[in-house]
Chains A and B, each alone.
Chain A
């Protein structure tokens, strides 16, 4: 049954694929949350903090209750609270959403470290995964296709969000508010309220992304659980042109880049693989440079977004 050594260099793409699916889930959730928030015309850089706090809260509650799903729910609730706080502060005049976002990022991480101290040692239950590689005898294939339920939920959610933006009143309302505050007011909408709710929902998604980190991969709570996924997701949303379905593919791409280092290490590349650990960051920089232009405005950018105004 065990044929692990036979596949040789094929292990690299396979490990990247498996890694992409495993690593991409937090990217996916945070980027969908950020996409939702940015479509309403506000940018929430605090999602990195929300992610870390969600990871802590999810792990702690899962440990206390013995249920990983209760942990996910707790992480989503914590994310909602962070989002509501961000959205509430930003409605005041003269408040800059980016500055508040950075403050929230530090606050979220700090609170998570403070409350998370007692949970570094204990072991909480993991989230379930579906073995989609049952048809193969090769252990690497089985490992790569061990797919977490949250990944599938996230994939479904990206399509759902795309549909919401296209075909529902709620989605169109969010887009109207994000694109033109004046037009929204003229329509009798309350832009602050729409943004508050969009930021809260975005925070909930980022919280779930955090729960995935601590409850599945890497699967434990410690202070280094996030490696900047929350911030990279902001770049990812720009790269995905604010389209939820593109967010899914972009998250996979970033996940694959993140898996490059471990994959090379697993086939015995012993030199310079640390450089490949930097692949997601290099990719972030490279993509943003490649897709930008000095002469053109970003296609698809919400008009009220402070970074693209």
Chain B
């Protein structure tokens, strides 16, 4: 590729010196200095709002730092805009995919080039891409539209795109938040191999300590906009990292399990449906969830978990079989959910369980705004009831919001999750259906939400937990099933679960 040969290759070092960023009165970043040595894998840790994104946006030229500067390979560099950063070989992989869904991988790569030809000679481009791919440690199918690729493949393609564009310093913003453990291992392993080979330097934003210890060379921790610690990863334990992140000893208590499984609450019998593409069948012959247990459903994304969630929430039509709650047919109407005390925490709750532009207080009242004192539903809404309910829930679940009246879309992801959980766990819950509850959340939010789920279980609720995070499944579940190709492929008790065995069934060969 001519445009690549023109650029020098090899990893470059980047140093942010004395970075300060103020937004009005608020100091997002306070005199932070980070040195990322060439050819290293550097992890950037911190809670949500600690200033990680602000720091990398200053490095990439999205923000102009109030003071401080960036050194690229020891030379001062003026990052006026992202293009200037790109020209120096700096690139960023965002948390949300920036690939164009309906274009093929090949089209995505070619059009992302600044010097994309006016008329694309696909024969030549294909040959160039094949040559480029031959040099890469991992591959993705080039002729598939990106929306048909699995999350792991998309993430690999994002990284490949940066390499294809000749970038030699990569910022990865929580690259594994949408990946399964196996995919994450695979992608990060390849990225580390590239750093070892001296091809690139990597700065990775993450919450996951395990990934830091496993893959990173150096570490920087930010807390409330300031540099809170760092050094060589080999010399730090998880406790050290947690202490740097949280300031004090982190609240890691896990709530003990009490009580055991009771009567069957949710029963799926011969359920048949079609998946999103309309091509693959979803076939669940039998699945029971009992009171006082957490049933975890593990699986690689795209194996029917999302469709299962849609079936249970009434968003997807059944073609056969039945969903029973406490022995009654259940079609997920509001009346049925209320009668049987079924509650949901769907994935992406802002989209699937909230009205984003309505206020936090209103969103918190979705389960009760029409509930009257007697058996008849309320006609006039009660502003006081909504306000009191909001106040109690915001305090009880430590939801951080400017006011109960601000729109729920203004809250951070973790706080939206807390708000929905507060609403869904209010009152008695007999069946709680949860999907990827901790997706993209920081450390403190994750442990709080997991503790709430276990607390609901201890109170006797049946919990169905669908998650792509195997660690989460292992931590929370009393019983684990694996979903693969739209079917239940494997079942094991949580206490004696064998990760390798589960992984084999997740991968589709049991």
With A186-B94, A187-B112, A296-B278 in contact, do A169 and B100 touch (Cβ < 8 Å)? no
Partner of B119, one of A167, A175, A294, A297: A167
Task: Kindly provide the distance from the CB of A257 to the nearest chain B CB, expressed in whole angstroms.
Answer: 28
Across the interface, which residues of A come within 8 angstroms of B112, CB to CB?
187
Is the CB of A271 closer than 8 A to any CB of chain B? no
Could you tell me if B274 and A295 are in contact, using CB atoms closer than 8 angstroms?
yes
Q: Residue-by-residue, is A164-175 near B (CB-CB < 8 Å gives 1, otherwise 0)?
A: 001111101101
Measured in the bound complex, the distance between the Cα atoms of B483 and A29 in whole Å is 49
Could you tell me if A179 and B102 are in contact, using CB atoms closer than 8 angstroms?
yes
Measured in the bound complex, the distance between the Cα atoms of B96 and A167 in whole Å is 27
Is the CB of B110 closer than 8 A to any CB of chain A? yes
Across the interface, which residues of B come within 8 angstroms of A187, CB to CB?
98, 111-112
Is the CB of A182 closer than 8 A to any CB of chain B? yes
With A175-B103, A179-B103, A294-B317 in contact, do A186 and B98 touch (Cβ < 8 Å)? yes
With A173-B111, A187-B112, A295-B278 in contact, do A180 and B101 touch (Cβ < 8 Å)? yes
Is the CB of B334 closer than 8 A to any CB of chain A? no
Across the interface, which residues of A come within 8 angstroms of B116, CB to CB?
169, 172
Could you tell me if A293 and B278 are in contact, using CB atoms closer than 8 angstroms?
yes
Across the interface, which residues of B come within 8 angstroms of A207, CB to CB?
none
With A182-B96, A295-B278, A295-B317 in contact, do A302 and B102 touch (Cβ < 8 Å)? yes
B76-111 contacts to A, CB under 8 A, are: 82-83, 94, 96, 98-103, 107, 110-111
Which residue of chain A is the closest to B82 with respect to CB atoms? A188
Partner of A168, one of B100, B120, B278, B316: B120
Could you tell me if A296 and B100 are in contact, using CB atoms closer than 8 angstroms?
no
Q: Residue-by-residue, is A201-230 near B (CB-CB < 8 Å gives 1, otherwise 0)?
A: 000000000000000000000000000000
Task: Kindly provide the distance from the CB of B309 to the nearest chain A CB, expressed in whole angstroms.
Answer: 15
Is the CB of A152 closer than 8 A to any CB of chain B? no
Partner of A169, one of B83, B120, B276: B120
Partner of A175, one of B102, B120, B274: B102
Across the interface, which residues of B come within 8 angstroms of A175, CB to CB?
100, 102-103, 107
Measured in the bound complex, the distance between the Cα atoms of B107 and A172 in whole Å is 8
Is the CB of B277 closer than 8 A to any CB of chain A? yes
With A295-B274, A300-B102 in contact, do A176 and B111 touch (Cβ < 8 Å)? yes
B286-327 contacts to A, CB under 8 A, are: 316-317
Measured in the bound complex, the distance between the Cα atoms of B102 and A280 in whole Å is 31
Which residue of chain B is the closest to A186 with respect to CB atoms? B98
Measured in the bound complex, the distance between the Cα atoms of B354 and A257 in whole Å is 46
Task: Kindly provide the distance from the CB of A179 to the nearest chain B CB, expressed in whole angstroms.
Answer: 5
With A172-B116, A293-B278, A296-B277 in contact, do A183 and B100 touch (Cβ < 8 Å)? yes
Which residue of chain B is the closest to A184 with respect to CB atoms? B100
Could you tell me if B110 and A296 are in contact, using CB atoms closer than 8 angstroms?
no
With A179-B103, A180-B101 in contact, do A172 and B111 touch (Cβ < 8 Å)? yes
Is the CB of A303 closer than 8 A to any CB of chain B? yes
Is the CB of B135 closer than 8 A to any CB of chain A? no
Across the interface, which residues of A come within 8 angstroms of B110, CB to CB?
172
Q: Residue-by-residue, is A182-200 near B (CB-CB < 8 Å gives 1, otherwise 0)?
A: 1110111000000000000
Task: Kindly provide the distance from the CB of A165 to the nearest chain B CB, expressed in whole angstroms.
Answer: 10
With A175-B103, A303-B101 in contact, do A169 and B111 touch (Cβ < 8 Å)? yes
Across the interface, which residues of B come within 8 angstroms of A295, CB to CB?
274, 276, 278, 316-317
Q: Residue-by-residue, is A267-300 near B (CB-CB < 8 Å gives 1, otherwise 0)?
A: 0000000000000000000000000011111001
Is the CB of B138 closer than 8 A to any CB of chain A? no
Could you tell me if A182 and B276 are in contact, using CB atoms closer than 8 angstroms?
no
Task: Kindly provide the distance from the CB of A221 to the nearest chain B CB, expressed in whole angstroms.
Answer: 40
Measured in the bound complex, the distance between the Cα atoms of B117 and A166 in whole Å is 13
Task: Kindly provide the distance from the CB of B507 to the nearest chain A CB, expressed in whole angstroms.
Answer: 27
Is the CB of B132 closer than 8 A to any CB of chain A? no
Could you tell me if A296 and B276 are in contact, using CB atoms closer than 8 angstroms?
yes
Measured in the bound complex, the distance between the Cα atoms of B104 and A176 in whole Å is 11
Task: Kindly provide the distance from the CB of A266 to the nearest chain B CB, expressed in whole angstroms.
Answer: 43
Across the interface, which residues of B come within 8 angstroms of A170, CB to CB?
118
Q: Residue-by-residue, is A77-116 near B (CB-CB < 8 Å gives 1, otherwise 0)?
A: 0000000000000000000000000000000000000000
Could you tell me if B119 and A180 are in contact, using CB atoms closer than 8 angstroms?
no
Measured in the bound complex, the distance between the Cα atoms of B276 and A178 in whole Å is 22
Can you name 7 extra interface pairs (CB under 8 A) apart from A168-B118, A169-B117, A187-B112? A166-B122, A172-B110, A175-B102, A176-B111, A184-B100, A188-B82, A303-B102
> What are 25 A-B pairs at a CB distance below 8 A?
A167-B119, A167-B122, A168-B120, A169-B117, A170-B118, A172-B111, A172-B116, A175-B100, A175-B103, A176-B100, A176-B103, A180-B99, A182-B96, A183-B98, A183-B99, A183-B100, A186-B94, A187-B111, A188-B82, A188-B83, A295-B274, A295-B276, A295-B317, A296-B278, A303-B101
The 8 closest A-B pairs by CB, nearest first: A172-B111, A296-B278, A186-B98, A183-B98, A179-B100, A183-B100, A179-B102, A167-B120
Chain B interface residues toward A at CB < 8 A: 82-83, 94, 96, 98-103, 107, 110-112, 114, 116-122, 274, 276-278, 316-317
